[in-house]
Amino acid sequence: MSIPRVLNRKNRILLKELTKTDFKLRYQGSVLGYLWALLRPLMMFAILYIVFAKLLKFGSDIPHYPVYLLCGTSMWSFFTECTSQGIQAIVSRGDLLRKISFPKYIVVVSATLTAVINMLINLVVIIIFALLNGVTPSWGWFLIFIPLFGLYLLSLGIAFLLGSINVKYRDITSIWDVIVQALFYAVPIIYPISMVASSSEAAAKVILANPISQCIQDIRYFLITDETITTWNYIDNPFVKAIPILIIFFFLIVGALVFRRKSKFFAEEV
């Protein structure tokens, strides 16, 4: 697939319209409508905050822990929504694929961009919450879009890879749901990395090698406090530091190649 074909005006218009349609259909028929884009991560944050911060006393050593937790839950919601919607995109748009000839990748990208819209809405809430919690604004806030982009690329790569397999083997969606539940506890969303590091530095480094952990920690570092442990300030070995980035590009490249090879048969198999 050539770059001019990917970026041509017709494809951009189609991508825009599919993204708008996906976003509208996501909340069609619900009483609260678009408010669910805010309520889902906020409700998850409220439950986790009461249980882990108030009852179990997690994060007492973390500056602005409520913002720390809200940031983690919102970014996790973005990752899970982006991958889940991307994986199901080809199957859910089967009728369209059979009727119209167009680049299949647009369907997956449009589904993930809907998650990006929700994430940007939540990001505004996080920033307001951070200001109310006494976080001092800095120029570093503008750098959060770098790890956010990395998290999106990882999600897109996974969506391409598993979405193309899901067309033929529909069990992929259920398997991914289980994997996501396990990953939730392997990523420092609730607990701080410092708590793990105090028990085992090796375990902390393994957790930070996960690109999801790295992206979330980097966002917290830029947005909340520079005391946040990240891959860059905790690991000395430059090769180990590069592991999260390599994993992101691995999924993106392999996902794109597998998707391109299998996309020829989507209309027949969906």
Each residue's pLDDT tens digit, 108-127? 999 899 889 889 888 988 99
186-214: pLDDT as tens digits = 999 888 888 888 888 889 999 999 999 99
Percentage with pLDDT > 90 across the chain: 37
Residue tagged 């599919």 (tokens): 18
Rounded to the nearest 5 degrees, what angle is found at the Cα of 30, between the Cα atoms of 27 and 34?
Answer: 45
Alpha-carbon gap, residue 153 to 146, rounded angstroms: 11
Task: Place 219 in a pLDDT band, splitting at 50, 70 and 90.
Answer: very high
The CA distances from residue 161 to 104, 158, 241, 253, 263, in Å, are 13, 5, 25, 9, 11
Are the beta carbons of 126 and 221 closer than 8 angstroms?
Answer: no
Are the beta carbons of 157 and 248 closer than 8 angstroms?
Answer: yes
Task: Place 10 in a pLDDT band, splitting at 50, 70 and 90.
Answer: confident
Higher pLDDT, 198 or 101: 198
Q: Report, as an integer, the average pLDDT of 224-239.
A: 88
Higher pLDDT, 64 or 148: 148
**The tokens of 264 are what?**
């020829």
Report which of 49, 120, 52, 50 is spatially closest to residue 81, judged by C-alpha positions.
Answer: 120
pLDDT over threshold 70, residue 253: yes
pLDDT over threshold 50, residue 2: no
**Chain Cα centroid distance, residue 146:** 13
- Residue 122 is which amino acid? N
Model pLDDT, residue 4: 43
**The tokens of 18 are what?**
């599919």
Higher pLDDT, 228 or 26: 228
> Can you state the percent helix, strand and coil of the chain, rounding each to 5?
80, 0, 20
Alpha-carbon gap, residue 108 to 159, rounded angstroms: 7
> Greatest CA separation found in the chain?
58
Higher pLDDT, 138 or 55: 138
